[in-house]
Amino acid sequence: MKDLTEGKEGRLILRFALPMLLGNVFQQLYNVVDSIIIGKVLGKEALAAVGANFPLIFALISFVVGIAIGSTVIISQYFGAKQMENVKKAIDTLYIFMFFAALSLTIIGIYGSTYIFRLISLPEEVIKPAVEYFNIYAIGFVFFFGFQGTSAILRGLGDSKTPLYFLIISTIVNIVLDIFFVVVLKFGIKGVATATVIAQAGAFISIMWYLNKYHKFIDISPLKMKFDRKIFSKSLKIGLPTGFQQTFVSVGFLALYKIVNQFGTSTIAAYSVAMRIDMFAAMPAMNFSAAISTFVGQNIGANKYHRIGRGLNATLVMTNIISVTVSVLALLFARPLIGVFTNDHEVIEIGVQYIYVVSGFYVIFTTMFVFTGVLRGAGDTLVPMFITILALWVVRIPASYYLSVKFGYMGIWWGIPIAWFIGALFSFLYYKTGRWKTKAVVKHKKKDE
């Protein structure tokens, strides 16, 4: 466990963010390997099918992930205030919620996947493999939520290294199983989904064993867990806006896919590949955002508000340096990066044009995420929800649709940086109001501002 309330702010945030960043690199690595094997071995229809699963899976898990974020904020603030009994209650409550949420979403997803794929106008030749992939992947929701919930809990307690170790092992297992099921056994797209489920199950079971053996404080014993309604109510107060925000984003992705799908299988496949590259580019922003969220939560819990501004400034400097570097590399190597996933010339050309449009604006995306991380760590999640809805539903989707009518699929890509700019601007303006300082779960008589 790591106390983030003492020491040099920038150094603490960097050391906390790096293990999460490495963990997500490995997590995305096995997603990339999935796509490479699918694109090279199974073809662009299968590649499009797996890509189409991303917005559906995100739509199903997003609300639950938002509630989990609320719990993480509470855990970090209780930990910063050294209220350890409440920390344990919050952990138990989160696990119980995640378990039943996973079971519900598995049932809903399996029964509704075909309808949703048709609703977003997925080409008929892509629907069957997309459903085959999803129905197997959904079986692993309970393991996915279990591992993600555990990682979130540990981050709230200042430990970002432990999940990394298990994620690395899981990634290696996933890659080996991908090759075995698809290349050796010829299981096709079902083999890719099966490999992912097995890897997720292994990661969750092994991290449970480790924590019970070496971290007795957490004591993850299903039969001894107790659901605390009061703490869950606080989690909902913080997590519901984030959950709705994530849901609006995920449904927005489905709407965007509906626009993309109008341009055929090659465009869908190219968008799927470009999204994989985008995820790598977005990881520094997302992980530093999570790091500063925990940093803010612990320091508010410890009544050290004066450290937050210094932490924010240091984080912005670090993330913007990384973002500029990633943008330059993406622009220079766009064609070989897309070519790793597919040999189809049309898919490569469309994917390269996406990279040329979007990658120059990663700095704006990063800035937006860092400010959102500060607000979330303070427990202020309602205003960021409205900002996200504004940027996505009022700006990005209408802009992408209008520009796609005028300029084809290139217009879809331009809607993305336009929305990022609006989101970053409004997040910055709200941060400057200082209203987020009043949203803390742990209350102090006098804030050290």
Domain positions in the chain are 12-438
Distance (Å, whole) CA 84 – CA 75: 9
Distance (Å, whole) CA 385 – CA 147: 25
Cβ pair 159, 16 in contact under 8 A: no
Q: Token pair for residue 110?
A: 């399996």
Residues 6+ apart with CB under 8 A from 293: 72, 73, 76, 373, 374, 376, 377
Longest alpha-carbon distance in the chain: 65
Which of 326, 284, 293, 251 has the alpha carbon at shortest distance from 28? 284
Q: Is 130 helix (H, G, I), strand (E, B) or coil?
A: helix
Q: What is the pLDDT along the chain (449 residues), one digit of tens a residue?
A: 567 788 899 999 999 888 878 877 777 776 777 778 888 888 888 888 888 888 788 778 877 877 777 777 788 778 877 888 888 888 888 889 999 999 999 999 899 999 988 988 888 888 999 999 999 999 999 999 998 888 878 877 777 788 888 888 888 898 899 899 998 998 989 998 999 999 999 999 998 888 777 766 666 777 778 888 888 888 888 778 777 877 787 788 888 888 998 898 899 889 988 888 888 888 888 889 989 988 998 888 888 888 999 999 999 999 999 999 999 999 999 999 999 888 889 999 999 999 999 999 999 999 999 999 999 888 888 888 889 889 989 999 999 999 999 999 999 999 999 999 999 999 999 999 988 888 766 666 554 44
Tell me the residue type at 129: P
Q: Is 219 helix (H, G, I), strand (E, B) or coil?
A: coil
pLDDT at 233: 87
Tokens 């400057």 belong to: 432
Q: Is 218 helix (H, G, I), strand (E, B) or coil?
A: coil
